[in-house]
Structure 1
């Protein structure tokens, strides 16, 4: 799709959750390459390896850490242009009926409640400027129109909810200049995807990074895979 993009993110500030490895690390490093100041969130900031990244302690299941991270960005950078909700876990294997209640709670807390709270607390900074972006790293397993991934039922449902968050953000804040989109990275060779997955983290990060480059007025409220809109 032909979309107007920022050629450079110089002067812009981004927060990427789950940025210590895999797709999150690849997104964070690419945003640095584009010139952004990137706060890389992780449960242990010592695990952030990119030299130009700004490590920030951010367990998305801990609201106090979310508040502290956003306040730090506000104090140090004075702005936030891009939020990438990437942090997530695989959760229990099998369909919902086979999952433990604790396993269901854990995956929803990380994959859905976490992005909701990070978005909630980041919105005051994001809404200060027209054209700020929220990119939610989702999965085609969360599509209502497709075949939900029964191999990880709770995970798929958490991503359905994450897509719903994208729609909610778009509906509530598009008229204030916020661009909210979801991205499916595909099957990526990470701790979650496994070694047999055909895509590298860099390939999985591509569409999310592309969405981070959208300018004010670009398409929003959409679900994307390989830079094309797909069904919810």
Structure 2
């Protein structure tokens, strides 16, 4: 399972969704430090990102904004090597009986439909690069190998679906060179994770960044945590 890694991402182009804060911002910063041109997608023009990043307005529930972003990346950079599907929301604690239909719809639209649409519009660009990578931010809460108790059904099911998207991408496009992987960053001290989480943002972003460095022919179609493959 040992991948070959790029030491530098100089000349490569990355798209990171939900890049204005938390894990998305840290992953984008890491990729920029590695030399990549970073397109930082946020859902509001008011969201601040560093000047050295390319700022895109993308609400992942809006297909038109995703399509426009893919067009802008191609027109501006002429290529796309890495997509990090990070944008997500969560409404925790409720069980399926008490969770509102609005919460179900919001969560699935952002966390599952969103990454699917991002892939729909970026896969053609990724396949033009040798070893294009998709890194899907998932969660242990969506792992079928772990107990699905404690509420948060929409969040859990959306992340299970994200893992299904990863498996599909590998099965459909792996032979064409696409490297699609899912990653659980752990319980991270972000706005979503809360102050009691046991991991700093830097630790949560480490494995997603590492997956972005995979060279062509590296492992794909897996679910990772702390650089190790875990069960779906």
**TM exceeding 0.5:** yes
- Sort the Cα spacing of 1:162 and 1:122 in 2 relative to 1 into closer, same or farther, 3 A: same
Whether the aligned pair in 2 keeps the contact of 1:92 and 1:103 (CA below 8 Å) is no
Look up the match of 1:110.
110
The offset of 1:3, in angstroms, is 1.9
CA offset digits 1:158-216 (Å, max 9, x no partner): 00000000000000000100000001000001111001111111111111000000000
- Is residue 40 of structure 2 the alignment partner of residue 49 of structure 1? no
Look up the match of 1:132.
132
Q: In the aligned structure 1, how far is the partner of 2:18 from the partner of 2:59?
A: 8
Look up the match of 1:156.
156
More displaced 10-residue stretch of structure 1: 54-63 or 86-95: 86-95
Q: Secondary structure at the match of 2:97?
A: helix
Segments of 5+ residues of structure 1 without an aligned counterpart are: none
Q: Secondary structure at the match of 1:44?
A: coil
Q: In the aligned structure 2, how far is the partner of 1:128 from the partner of 1:189?
A: 36
With the length of structure 2 as denominator, give the TM-score of the two structures: 0.97
Look up the match of 1:201.
201
Q: In the aligned structure 2, how far is the partner of 1:105 from the partner of 1:96?
A: 13
Whether the aligned pair in 1 keeps the contact of 2:138 and 2:184 (CA below 8 Å) is yes
Superposition RMSD in Å: 1.1
Structure 1's consecutive aligned runs of 4 or more residues displaced over 6 angstroms after TM superposition are none
Q: How does 1:1-232 map to 2 (within 5 A)?
A: 2-91=2-91, 93-232=93-232
More displaced 10-residue stretch of structure 1: 197-206 or 111-120: 197-206
Q: In the aligned structure 1, how far is the partner of 2:144 from the partner of 2:96?
A: 16
The offset of 1:149, in angstroms, is 4.8
Q: In the aligned structure 2, how far is the partner of 1:122 from the partner of 1:54?
A: 16
Whether the aligned pair in 1 keeps the contact of 2:20 and 2:48 (CA below 8 Å) is yes
Segments of 5+ residues of structure 2 without an aligned counterpart are: none
More displaced 10-residue stretch of structure 1: 196-205 or 159-168: 196-205
Whether the aligned pair in 1 keeps the contact of 2:40 and 2:49 (CA below 8 Å) is no
Q: Secondary structure at the match of 1:24?
A: helix
